Structure 1
Amino acid sequence: MRVLLAHERYLPDSGGGGEVLAHRRALHLRARGIEVQVICAGDPALGDHEGVPTRRLPLRRRALPFGLPAFIEAARSADLVHAFTYHAMLPAFVAARLTGRPLVCEYMALFGRAWSVMRSEPVALGYRAVERLLVALPAQGRIFLSEDSLALARGKPGDRVVLAPPGVDPAFFEEASPEPKGDFVLFAGKFEARKGVAELLAVARACPHIRFVAVGWGGDIAALRAAAPENLTVHESRGDRYRRLLRQARIFFFPSHAETFGIVVAEAMASGCAVIGTTGQGAEGVRVEAGDAAGMVAAVQRLWDDRDLCLALGARNRERARAYDWERSGDVVLGLYRTLLAHRLPYPEAPR
């Protein structure tokens, strides 16, 4: 079996968790004896990554549709095309259709109404329209990362629609036990409006007696530090410091406005944190509504005042996080491939 993975960029070029997930998919397939090639935008000089053959088109991500001839050429040498949202999905669809290859679409980013938080309203409407177009593409197989994203796309599991949540790096479980929990609330993620940075600032200001720590990347970090109250410390990091802070934090705070799957939430669970957040994922703690700063303040104060409860929730989260396994996730994807190739199902009609 030969599989073409189409993503807008690929490691070591990275803007978030999407590139990590795409690479994990590639590594799993190669470990199962599947021939894999990645096509993406980026600097051709970066070459392959960790042995995964990678063709990088010298284009900006948003210009990937202009690389359609390269997508068609790559699709001809594959048995199946697997495309990830956003910018690589449309040229991958056209290339798969023209070459008669089955297409699998994996939705790593579906933000819906949250685009209005991230962009001005006219631009947000455009992005939402593009999302609806990508969800409506008549692909033969679809992969969703969570029940929330599946519901947003108004889908339901079946032979050609599967749930394949990402896994947690085993390194988060390697310690015999998590470090003793410190007294602070941790936020981790990209410093942008969609992740709830405004809510983080509001909640920290409303709880001056509680220490908050934020670790992340992107955005205007200098402006965030300038706006932060005295009880909020902001770090720019994604490496060892991030892992250490997760092990030490008693509460993980994730006020994101939209997620297909919050990998940092699963990692916080594996690190023994109680979770206050807007995503589900089976986390023990308090689920809050996106944008509800008052509800977030109440949740933080409730858990902060009950240290024993936090520790108990964190211990249960550590066990629940073991359900997020990269091998299991990859096997679900491979099972979908085999179903499609065995039956050679025709392209379905596009939904109206």
Structure 2
Amino acid sequence: MKLLIVTDAWHPQVNGVVRTLATTRTELERLGHVVEVIAPDRFRTIPMPTYPEIRLALAPGRRVRQMIDAAEPDAIHIATEGPLGLAARRYCLKRKLPFTTAYHTRFPEYVRDRAPVPLSLSYAFVRRFHAPAHSVMVATASIEADLQRRGFTNIRRWSRGVDTDLFRPRDKGLFAHLPRPVFLSVGRVAVEKNIEAFLSLDLPGSKVVVGDGPQLAELKAKYPTVTFVGAKHGEDLARHYAAADVFVFPSRTDTFGLVLLEALASGLPVAAFPVPGPLDVIGNSPAGALSEDLRTACLKAVDIDPAICRNHALGFSWRACAQQFLENLRPFKGVA
């Protein structure tokens, strides 16, 4: 099958949405499918307000139409609610073609954290965007239940996976110079990630942050005792996970949190708030500690056996993720 994915989140962005789409694409191609991606790297772009690292396609409507026509896909998946997603949605509605969407991020909450926009208004926009989709793919049961309460329909599950060959327990020498235990956070250094809830904690040992983002300079200046190492990728990222002792996930707005699986696969217990994402990945498993008191969760996580964490992560597969994605699609060749 020839598949087309339209997304406003793509390389060189570094986040869970990009990793999910790129890895799913690879798995689909291994299964024999052809996958084309329409992303901002094929357009003139402008920086996103308050978040210049993210580039938004400028007036993409005509080129999106041309690209879709040229691709002649069997199915279209619209991954994001940005300019490219909106242009592809208009194309499909005009041509009366079925399409699927995904709810990757809690967009209304992200907007609220950056601007005085009521959640009700943002959710109305997002609900309208996804309403015509054949399937609205979500990663977890918690997010599915939340969206259903908000009037979303046609919701289907699309879980996540982890590369357990790359992310695995390794030597901890990378952080040998730091006092133990080492508490690690990985992700965008941005307000929606709630990272100050971690940085402000009174914890023994050391704190390390992996990632870039609009708050990086501000937080480096505010927390000089924290080790900020910037964004890491591939083997380098995997070594940073494995060298730590506890993974701290302070976000309250993620719909899943791929970093949770990467940490667990590396043998790191998770400390997090009991919110969607951690609740779905950790649940009642002894692989992590969830508490509204994040410091308490961090201190409990120190004593968790790394083998328990690794075994929990082994239950998540990218191949199963790709199969779910395929089952949720609605091919339209031959559809009137």
Normalization by structure 2: what TM-score? 0.81
Q: What is residue 43 of structure 2 aligned with on the other side? A: 57
Q: CA deviation at 1:178?
A: 4.0
Secondary structure in structure 1 of the residue aligned to 2:32: coil
Q: CA deviation at 1:344?
A: 8.1
Distance (Å, rounded) in 2 between the aligned partners of 1:123 and 1:61: 24
Q: Which one-letter code corresponds to 1:82 in the other structure? A: H
Q: What is residue 79 of structure 2 aligned with on the other side? A: 84
- Equivalent residues in 2 for 1:1-352, closer than 5 Å: 1-11=1-11, 13-42=12-41, 56-60=42-46, 64=57, 66-76=59-69, 77-87=72-82, 88-113=84-109, 115-116=111-112, 118-122=113-117, 127-135=122-130, 137-154=131-148, 161-172=155-166, 177-179=169-171, 183-203=181-201, 206-207=202-203, 209-228=204-223, 230=225, 232-239=226-233, 240-278=235-273, 279-283=278-282, 284-289=287-292, 295-304=293-302, 309-310=303-304, 312=305, 314-337=306-329, 340-341=330-331
Secondary structure in structure 2 of the residue aligned to 1:82: strand
Distance (Å, rounded) in 1 between the aligned partners of 2:250 and 2:241: 16
Q: CA deviation at 1:29?
A: 2.4
- Sequence identity, in percent? 21
Q: CA deviation at 1:133?
A: 2.9
Secondary structure in structure 2 of the residue aligned to 1:172: coil
Distance (Å, rounded) in 1 between the aligned partners of 2:47 and 2:195: 25
Structure 1 unpaired stretches of 5+: 43-55, 290-294, 347-352
The change in CA–CA distance for 1:320 and 1:83 in structure 2 (over 3 A counts) is: same
Q: CA deviation at 1:144?
A: 1.0
Contact 2:64 2:87 in 1 (8 A): yes
Distance (Å, rounded) in 1 between the aligned partners of 2:166 and 2:35: 28
Q: Which one-letter code corresponds to 2:6 in the other structure? A: A
Q: CA deviation at 1:169?
A: 1.8
Q: Which one-letter code corresponds to 2:117 in the other structure? A: P
Distance (Å, rounded) in 2 between the aligned partners of 1:282 and 1:107: 17
Secondary structure in structure 2 of the residue aligned to 1:218: coil
Q: CA deviation at 1:325?
A: 1.1
The change in CA–CA distance for 1:321 and 1:223 in structure 2 (over 3 A counts) is: same
The change in CA–CA distance for 1:147 and 1:243 in structure 2 (over 3 A counts) is: same
Q: CA deviation at 1:220?
A: 3.6
How many pairs does the alignment contain? 309
Contact 1:142 1:162 in 2 (8 A): yes
Q: What is residue 49 of structure 1 aligned with on the other side? A: none
Q: CA deviation at 1:234?
A: 1.7
Structure 2 unpaired stretches of 5+: 49-55, 174-179
Q: What is residue 50 of structure 1 aligned with on the other side? A: none
Secondary structure in structure 1 of the residue aligned to 2:331: helix
Distance (Å, rounded) in 1 between the aligned partners of 2:185 and 2:24: 27
Contact 2:272 2:297 in 1 (8 A): no
Q: CA deviation at 1:237?
A: 2.7
Q: CA deviation at 1:94?
A: 1.3
Higher share in helix: 1
Secondary structure in structure 1 of the residue aligned to 2:256: coil
Secondary structure in structure 2 of the residue aligned to 1:245: helix
Contact 1:167 1:325 in 2 (8 A): yes
Q: CA deviation at 1:124?
A: 6.6
Q: CA deviation at 1:120?
A: 2.7
Q: CA deviation at 1:129?
A: 4.2
Question: Residues 94-152 of structure 1, C-alpha deviation per residue, up to 9 Å, x if partnerless?
Answer: 11122232201012112444543x213238776444333334x2111221112232223
Q: Which one-letter code corresponds to 1:317 in the other structure? A: C
Q: CA deviation at 1:61?
A: 7.5
Distance (Å, rounded) in 2 between the aligned partners of 1:114 and 1:72: 29
Contact 2:2 2:33 in 1 (8 A): yes
Contact 2:170 2:266 in 1 (8 A): yes
Contact 2:139 2:160 in 1 (8 A): yes
Contact 1:143 1:164 in 2 (8 A): yes
The change in CA–CA distance for 1:148 and 1:212 in structure 2 (over 3 A counts) is: same
Question: Residues 273-314 of structure 1, C-alpha deviation per residue, up to 9 Å, x if partnerless?
Answer: 11111322332222234xxxxx1122223444xxxx32x2x3
Normalization by structure 1: what TM-score? 0.78
Secondary structure in structure 1 of the residue aligned to 2:253: coil
